[in-house]
Structure 1
Amino acid sequence: MTYASIMVAVDLGDQARPRTGLAADLADTFHARLIGLAAQMPDYGGCPVGPTPGGTYGIPAIRDAVLNDLSRARTAFEDAARGRSRIEWRSSLDFPLAFLTSQAAAADLVVLGRGDDGDPCMAVDPGDAVMRLGRPVLIVPPRVDHLEARRVAIGWKNTREARRAVQDALPFLKRASQAVIVSIDDGRGAADTRDVVGFLQAHDVDATSVARDALGAPASEALIDVAAEYGADLIVTGAYGHGRLRKWAFGGVTRDLLAGAPVCCLMSH
């Protein structure tokens, strides 16, 4: 199993270039094609109807400004891709998440920023994306421009989402020198990791497990601490295992990792 096609969302924010460079390096690693994507919907809401300075004659100007933004995003993508031959560009006058969702069938892996670190007109909220795309999403935090993934931490509970995430992360895991499965006791007991360790070992992954007590802290903090202890620069987790609305209201590992993880996170739902 590998990633044959990697898609990266591009915007005009400061973090788009390092994120695209990271995605391009991953495309090299997995011998994959790299698809850059951007979308923006023209805002005609403030444009009155009629031949006034802000009316009908202003609508083409608004559309042209958005097309110019998309052209600038394409230039940034091509510059960051540094002349690689297997690249493709897709853009549209559309809402960013809607367009990304419509194009996700072309990708094995989708690379996104955090959503609040980019151009708000083009950025995609990764929480919305992981729920809608049906693809694993790699979230790149600010100021990260490279992913080695020689050591990978897996946040484990025996849920559908976590099982899906482990399967989706196999291309990374098979290349890693070590994968550590992290089971956090958040007051309800630590999950049994024997089956997932056995599954990964059957795929020739050097997998071990560790159980930690959250000690009253958020489980996400314990997971990040273990990742740092083992020198992992990639965390793999299932996303929103008990419903997104409940997790956003009362807290949850997914929300906390999206907001503040210092390393890349691969999430599946």
Structure 2
Amino acid sequence: MSYASLMVSVDLGEAARSRIRLAGHLADDFKARLIGVAAEMPAYEAAPVGPTLGSAYCLASVQESVLNDLRIAHAAFDEASAGRSRVEWRSNLDFSLEFLARQSAAADLVIVGRGDDGSPLLSVDPGDAVMRLGSPVLVVPPTVDHLDARRVAVAWKNTREAHRAVRDALPFIKRASSVVVLTVDEGAGAGDTRDVIGFLQAHDVHATAVPKDAYGASTAEALLEATSEHAADLLVSGAYGHGRLREWAFGGVTRDLLAHCPVCCLMSH
């Protein structure tokens, strides 16, 4: 079991090159093709409307500005992914998330940034991507440019989202030297991990169950503390909520992990 095709979202932020390098290393590790994706919708509403002398020029100028942004993104992708033969570039005049969602059918795993660098041009919000895309999403912190995933932590609760996240992460999990399954006791006891441990054992993965008491901290804080204690560089988690708006309006583990997880986080919804 492996990833045959990886897709990375490219924007004009400082962290984009690190993210592309990480994606390139993963493509090498999995012998996968690497697809770079970028899109931006021209702000046509800023141009004059109607048969004015400058309207045609302004519309062309607005579009050319966006095309230049896409050329810069393409150049950044080419530079950071240099030396690899199985690479592909896709871009268009479109809304970033809508374009990425349509392209994601070509990938086993989509790699996006955490959004810490001020929502740069062409960027995709990681929460929107997790909730919208049909593919698992690897969210990369801005300072991370490499992922070995030798020590993997799984944030477990017996839900559809967590089941899917574990299955989506199997290519990483099967290669890891250490896998811990984390459950957080929020006052009602830690979750039962026997079935997921058995599932992983059936895939020749030795995993250890690690119950964690929140001790008044949030569930996300407890998960991040346990991830750090076990020196994991990849956290696998289901993304919860009936919709991203509801999840972020009322808080939640998904929101907190997206905002604060210092290591790469693979999420599935």
Following superposition, the deviation at residue 98 of structure 1 comes to 0.3
Aligned amino acid, residue 165 of structure 2: A
Q: What per-residue deviation string (whole Å, max 9, x for no partner) do you get for residues 125-146 of structure 1?
A: 1111111111000000111111
Q: Which residue of 2 aligns with 1:192?
A: 192
1:252 aligned to 2:252? yes
Contact 1:51 1:57 in 2 (8 A): no
The residue number in structure 2 matching 1:112 is: 112
Distance 2:243 2:94 in 1: 27
| Post-superposition offset of 1:250 | 2.4
Match of 2:15 in 1: 15
CA distance in structure 1 between the partners assigned to 2:186 and 2:250 by the alignment: 14
**1:124-135 paired onto structure 2 within 5 Å:** 124-135=124-135
Deviation string 1:212-258 (CA, Å, 9 cap, x unpaired) is: 11111111111111111111000000001455334312221110010
What is the SS of the residue equivalent to 1:172?
helix
Give the number of aligned pairs.
268
TM-score by length of 2: 0.96
SS of the residue corresponding to residue 67 of structure 2 reads helix
1:84 aligns with 2:57: no
Q: Separation in 2 of the partners of 1:8 and 1:68?
A: 20
What is the CA-CA distance between 1:124 and the residue it aligns to? 0.5
User: 1: CA distance between counterparts of 2:217 and 2:170?
Assistant: 30
Q: Distance in 2 between matches of 1:116 and 1:46?
A: 27
Runs of 4+ in structure 1 off by over 4 angstroms are none
Q: Determine if the alignment matches structure 1 residue 210 to structure 2 residue 214.
A: no
8 Å contact from structure 2 (residues 116, 142) kept in 1? no
The SS at the match of 1:45 is helix
C-alpha contact (below 8 Å) 1:3/1:32 kept by paired residues: yes
Distance (Å, rounded) in 2 between the aligned partners of 1:249 and 1:214: 23
Shift in CA distance, 128/118, structure 1 to aligned 2, threshold 3 Å: same
CA distance in 2, matches of 1:40, 1:129: 16
Residue number in structure 2 paired with 1:151: 151
Residue 226 of structure 2 is matched in structure 1 by: 226
Counterpart-to-counterpart distance in 1, 2:87 and 2:117:
24
8 Å Cα contact 1:116-1:123 kept in structure 2: no
Supply the distance in 2 between the matched residues of 1:105 and 1:45 (Cα, whole angstroms).
31
Separation (CA, whole Å) in 2 of partners of 1:137 and 1:117:
19
- Note if contact 1:11-1:118 (Cα within 8 Å) is conserved in structure 2: no
Amino acid corresponding to residue 73 of structure 1 in structure 2: A
Find the counterpart in structure 2 of residue 166 from structure 1.
Answer: 166
Task: Report what 1:2 is aligned to.
Answer: 2
Change in CA separation of 1:157 and 1:125 when aligned onto 2, cut-off 3 Å: same
Distance (Å, rounded) in 1 between the aligned partners of 2:188 and 2:96 = 39
> Taking structure 1 as the reference length, what is the TM-score of the superposition?
0.96
Matches of 2:106 and 2:243, distance apart in 1: 27
Report if the CA contact (8 A) 2:148-2:233 is conserved: yes
- The Cα offsets for residues 27-80 of structure 1, whole Å up to 9 and x where unpaired, read as 000000000000000001111123344x22111111111111101100100100
How far is the alpha carbon of 1:118 from its aligned partner?
5.8
Is 1:51 aligned to residue 43 of structure 2?
Answer: no
CA RMSD across the alignment = 1.2
Q: Percent identity?
A: 66
The AA in structure 2 aligned to 1:208 is T
